[in-house]
Structure 1
Amino acid sequence: MAMKRAATSAIRAFASPSPSVLSRHLHASPGSKKIVGVFYKGNEYAAKNPNFLGTAERALGIREWLESKGHQYIVTDDKEGPNCELEKHIPDLHVLISTPFHPAYVTAERIKKAKNLELLLTAGIGSDHIDLKAAAEAGLTVAEVTGSNVVSVAEDELMRVLILVRNFVPGYLQVINGEWNVAAIAYRAYDLEGKTVGTVGAGRIGKLLLQRLKPFNCHLLYYDRLKMDPKLENEIGAKFEEDLDVMLPKCDIVVINTPLTEKTRGLFDKDRISKLKKGVLIVNNARGAIMDTQAVADACASGQIGGYSGDVWNPQPAPKDHPWRYMPNHAMTPHISGTTIDGQIRYAAGTKDMLDRYFKGEDFPPQNYIVKEGVIASQYR
């Protein structure tokens, strides 16, 4: 029933395309296709696990299958600059596959050059590395493997909440540095029980996080454009907040679970951060650009933010001088939360399924579409 509701909601998210949109083929045009995949290098680690599918070496495990069907499959990790490997293939590729963990930024300029491009696939969740407006205007299809790594990300968020609440990182650093100073850790270590946790966004990941937080006996709040099903809301024990700026000052811990759109870009700026509870803990595995980079660093330095953890940066990969690397009381990592081995198996299978449907002229699962026939899904507008 839940899947049926999700599919119905996804169908309604798309209106009829404008007659002025010159749509490219929604399904595969005849003949052999040139498919380009952009993935991070596994290097020596690629050989350590046969299911390490999200690497350039493993290439989602679909090379043999694609080539057996007569298609060309080019895989690279080189995606930046005018002379990169990806740029060489832009003019004649038909399908581009990328991930949020090593995103190939698909700009309006690249879309204009890609005369044969029909399909943009995200192996994972989050297609904000693509200029969706330009893709829609070009009549391209943009899709992702919705749901493929929601468990991975939700579990990671719960871990980060606990890491911040218990002030874990300084204790770990003491051990590896040969130190022992309990007071330096304990003075800002707390229990999670009884704390107020609010999630900004309660889609698939947000709901899973709230479900996992329930046994900790927290006060759970959520802000979203849609109110969740009353039965589920009651089971979780979460309270819906209609106004973000009313919810945020109530929270001891804030978790970001909203997609990056023009409405959410820079959502947490200096002004909004100043209105949060002093010492608030923030977890952000959504997108780095939802936060004002310098405002977060300054707030961590002043103590307005008591701790910040996440795996998303702006830009990615983060440069060595990125201020979040050096701000106090952080627990940042590279973008890893959604690329667990289990997550990779799911998004590799989902990518293969969509390619198979594309070749056969079949529709994707409705919830996987981000842009369909020139229309951007409503939540990304």
Structure 2
Amino acid sequence: MNSRERVCIIDPIHPAGLERIASAHEVIDLHGPRADEASVLVIRTSPLGPEVFGSMRGLKAIVKHGAGVDNIAIPAASAQGVMVANTPGGNNASAVAEGAVSLMLGLLRRTRDMDALVRGGRWDERWGIRLGDLTGARVGLVGFGRIARQVARICGAGFGCEVLAHDPVVPDAEVRAEGVRPTDLAGVLACDIVSIHTPLTQGTRNLIDTLELALMQPHALLVNCSRGGIVNEAALAEALRAGQIAGAGIDVFAQEPPPGDHPLLGLPNCLLSPHVAGVTEAGMKDMALHVAAVIDTVSRGEVPATLLNPEVLP
């Protein structure tokens, strides 16, 4: 039998998802007098720990709008007997993949610089510029989950790229089945373009640091649409400043928003965006509706298919 959940939505979600949730459940305000009565929390990017949910004694589940859960204190939730589920895949995977490829193209075609030429009346400077090609490039993927596989399809089928991938938890046969060559991290770093698609964990924090950047080629580009913290941003800034690599496209930062004195902000060979690779109309709607579906699963007393802490189950 379905129960009517008391749902606290901490970060804004698409109206379609909000409407679906409100039609079957009660939506309560995190800052209202009944916040401690919440049975389900919905979270996007805000930090979420026991200082927020510790007093919610009837809390059943935390539902992440999206895939990455590094902002959620999962051990604290597990200690409280609270399920944590995310909403990976769907249109969001396609949206983030398109975002990563758009950064690749923006860097290769020097979109920001070309716009400045036109606006600055420097039209004839175009003859001294040679833009880059994604067609035929070697693209290396760090991680090979849903988003990386979509990037591989776009780059492989769409641009004729040779795609390589490194993911220690994905069997080589599974990588090859997608038309991608499995390799080690050094093999990925030797590519023309390196794109990050791994979650942020203790094992992947600063995965791309001074040593790894030194393995990249001088003409190479680094793209990160996964999570800040996977790339050591100070080391990246130094590599860009020294011409050790040609450019970087960064959608995510260790601290968001980045401080005004962040070393990447003043570099002309770094294309930046504010953690919006997956923020498309279709992607946001799909994830919000997925969140609503997970809440409905919880309300039926069932276990979400994307449960991340099964140790809380009886």
Q: TM-score higher than 0.5 here? A: yes
Separation (CA, whole Å) in 1 of partners of 2:34 and 2:236: 38
List 4+ stretches of structure 1 deviating above 6 A.
none
Q: Which runs of 5+ in 2 are unaligned?
A: none
Q: 1:295 to 1:108 in 2, by over 3 A?
A: farther
Single out whichever of 128-137 and 90-99 deviates more from structure 2: 90-99
Separation (CA, whole Å) in 1 of partners of 2:189 and 2:172: 25
Q: Does 1:175 align with 2:175?
A: no
Single out whichever of 302-311 and 107-116 deviates more from structure 2: 107-116
1:77-92 equivalent positions in 2, closer than 5 A: 85=31, 91-92=36-37
What residue is the counterpart of 2:310 in the other structure?
Answer: 372
Separation (CA, whole Å) in 1 of partners of 2:71 and 2:99: 22
> Cα deviation per residue 1:254-275 (whole Å; 9 max; x = unaligned)?
0000011110011111222122
What residue is the counterpart of 1:13 in the other structure?
Answer: none
Normalising by structure 1, what TM-score? 0.74
1:105 Cα deviation from its structure 2 partner: 0.5
Supply the AA of the counterpart residue of 1:182. Answer: R
1:33 Cα deviation from its structure 2 partner: 3.9
Paired residue secondary structure (1:295): helix
Which residue of the other structure, out of 341, 345, 349, is the alignment partner of 2:289? 349
Paired residue secondary structure (1:305): coil
1:321 Cα deviation from its structure 2 partner: 3.0
What residue is the counterpart of 2:141 in the other structure?
Answer: 199
Which residue of the other structure, out of 5, 10, 18, is the alignment partner of 1:62? 18
What residue is the counterpart of 1:287 in the other structure?
Answer: 227
- Contact (CA 8 Å) 1:125, 1:144: kept in 2 or not? yes
What residue is the counterpart of 1:44 in the other structure?
Answer: none
Q: 1:111 to 1:67 in 2, by over 3 A?
A: closer
Separation (CA, whole Å) in 1 of partners of 2:22 and 2:188: 51
1:195 Cα deviation from its structure 2 partner: 2.3
- Contact (CA 8 Å) 2:96, 2:278: kept in 1 or not? yes
What residue is the counterpart of 2:93 in the other structure?
Answer: 150
Q: Which runs of 5+ in 1 are unaligned?
A: 1-26, 41-52, 76-84, 376-381
Q: Does 1:93 align with 2:65?
A: no
Q: 1:225 to 1:174 in 2, by over 3 A?
A: same
Q: 1:150 to 1:93 in 2, by over 3 A?
A: same
What residue is the counterpart of 1:225 in the other structure?
Answer: 168
Separation (CA, whole Å) in 2 of partners of 1:231 and 1:125: 21
Supply the AA of the counterpart residue of 1:93. Answer: A
Aligned residues: 310
Q: 1:168 to 1:362 in 2, by over 3 A?
A: same
**How big is the alpha-carbon RMSD for the aligned residues of Structure 1 and Structure 2?**
2.6
Normalising by structure 2, what TM-score? 0.88
Which residue of the other structure, out of 275, 287, 290, is the alignment partner of 1:335? 275
Q: Identity over the aligned pairs, expressed in percent?
A: 29
What residue is the counterpart of 2:28 in the other structure?
Answer: 73
> Cα deviation per residue 1:308-328 (whole Å; 9 max; x = unaligned)?
113111212333333222223
